[in-house]
Structure 1
């Protein structure tokens, strides 16, 4: 099973993803948590953040998930996921794929802006920021959409909603 958390920077992917992985590990200690930013570091940190570099990172992440999935390892992946064709590839190539879109209004992620990305991009000091100068396409057919701005609940409540979602089958 691969639970694929999609959202802009600041949408809560890391917070929700790590808590979700912890909850799943209570039942299955072998659950793996993958984060797009952390994997960039694992792979040497040489990829750019432009669309081409992001495409390479997306492919690596999807293929790593397939390798783990084929070995029976459950995965929680927290990624921007701006490429609809990789989301479709996941559906075609992973045995159990569950896509969760953390839908947060842009003004909320700009207010959160823990990395300073949005403010720098809006001032013209940074480029290749998804949601500012790189479009963020809304996922076409997520299995679950949650507003992680607080309207749908706390991070722990959102984790509960993911775990109890129709269609999610956990080991």
Structure 2
């Protein structure tokens, strides 16, 4: 099996990590090797030296691209959950990774602010932090992602099903064979 990268991009609080975790779970159940590369986890473990300036975000994204490339080379699906606010960074990832599926996790800024799971929007709006994507720093929406899911309107399950269906259509996975194989394993 060839490896590839599913790159989820969107504002903080849009649901990227929640969707990525559920996507990984489903892919593993179908028998695929899949690793989740969450932006917060990678930052904590590989990029603690970086802040949130545009330059630091680019370095962070390049580290994630490098890890994704290593995983893909070894037949593993990388599920990247990273704000990656700039089109140029995502274009770089697409160019470097080749087998790349961009998923725009669309969500209104108002909904993200209401969710605010990390309290970042509150801090940004109070001036306690700078460079917050969507508040002081721009988020450049993807122009032509392979998949768009809208977490204002769709459940996590619906979003994951949309992504899996697209991966199937693109030939990265085979849902019919995978479902049949899963049934056979359960029957034994």
Confirm or deny a common fold (TM above 0.5).
yes
Contact 1:62–1:86 (8 Å) recurs in 2: no
- Between the aligned partners of 1:93 and 1:55, the Cα distance in structure 2 is 14
Greater helix fraction, Structure 1 or Structure 2:
2
- Whether 1:39 aligns to 2:42 is yes
Separation (CA, whole Å) in 2 of partners of 1:116 and 1:83? 22
- 1:26 aligned residue: 29
Superposition misfits of 4+ residues, deviation over 6 angstroms: none
Aligned twin of 1:70 = 73
- Verify: 1:155 aligned to 2:134, yes or no: no
Deviates more, 1:70-79 or 1:11-20: 70-79
Question: Which among 57, 60, 71 is matched to residue 57 of structure 1?
Answer: 60
Cα RMSD (Å) of the superposition? 1.5
TM-score for both structures, normalised by structure 2: 0.84
| SS, match of residue 45 in structure 1 | coil
- 2:88 alignment partner, SS class: helix
Quick one: which of 7, 10, 21 aligns to 1:7? 10
- The CA deviation at 1:44 is 5.3
Q: CA deviation at 1:168?
A: 5.6
Deviation, structure 1 residue 167: 2.4
**Bigger shift: 104-113 or 42-51?**
42-51
Shift of 1:91: 2.2
Give distance in 1, aligned partners of 2:156 and 2:96. Answer: 29
Aligned to 2:81, the other structure's residue is in SS state strand
Q: Which moved more, 1:45-54 or 1:18-27?
A: 45-54
CA shift for structure 1 position 10: 0.2
Change (3 A) 1:88 1:139: same
Instruction: Give a deviation string over 1:25-78, Cα, whole Å, max 9, x none.
Output: 112352111001100111152211222211110111112111211222111110
1:127 shift after superposition? 0.9
Gaps of 5+ in 1: none
Change (3 A) 1:107 1:44: closer
| Bigger-Rg structure (1/2) | 2
Aligned-partner Cα distance in 1 for 2:21–2:171:
18
